[in-house]
Amino acid sequence: MGVYTFVCKSKGGEWTAKQHEGDLEASASSTYDLQRKLVQTALSTDSSGGVTSSFSLVSPTSAVCQVIIGGAVGGGFAAGGGAAAGGGGGAGEAAAATKEEEKKKEESEEEEGDFGFDLFG
């Protein structure tokens, strides 16, 4: 797994990026193109698995881009569905009871937040 962090700066309409603690560099006319080039640059040195990238503006003229290659890309997406599937006869009733408890808890939390004034009124 490789993690590549780039410091990006804009000057005169051109975005440039230099790897933090490394020699990789890229430049482009837009942040979108820069991120794509940085992913390709990182892949040229390490192509061991899936790719995740993020681009975060720090100011209008500076940003940080991170490219992660390998590891568990998107692994958390499928994790939520298993708990709802039950095989026994009482599983559906238990799930319904849990949903009712959660709904009551949400309603009580909403009531706690009412301070007697209408923000939009």
Query: Cα-flanking dihedrals φ and ψ of residue 2, to 5°?
Result: -120, 135
Q: Is residue 27 part of a domain?
A: yes
Q: Is residue 77 part of a domain?
A: no
Structural domains of the chain, count: 1
pLDDT on residue 82: 42
The answer to whether the beta carbons of residues 65 and 18 sit under 8 Å apart is no
The answer to whether the beta carbons of residues 2 and 48 sit under 8 Å apart is yes
pLDDT on residue 47: 82
Residues whose CB falls within 8 Å of the CB of residue 46, separated by 6 or more in sequence, listed in order: 2, 69, 70
Q: Is residue 97 part of a domain?
A: no
pLDDT on residue 77: 41
Q: Is residue 60 part of a domain?
A: yes
Task: Compute the distance between CA of residue 23 and CA of residue 67 in angstroms, rounded to an integer.
Answer: 15
Q: Is residue 118 part of a domain?
A: no
pLDDT on residue 93: 53
For 52-111, write each residue's pLDDT tens digit.
999 999 999 999 999 999 876 554 443 344 444 444 445 555 555 555 665 555 555 555
Task: Compute the distance between CA of residue 78 and CA of residue 113 in angstroms, rounded to an integer.
Answer: 33
Domain span at 58: 2-69
Structure tokens at 102: 């959660």
For 24-41, write each residue's pLDDT tens digit.
999 999 999 999 999 999
Q: What CATH number does the domain containing 61 carry? A: 3.30.160
Q: Is residue 80 part of a domain?
A: no
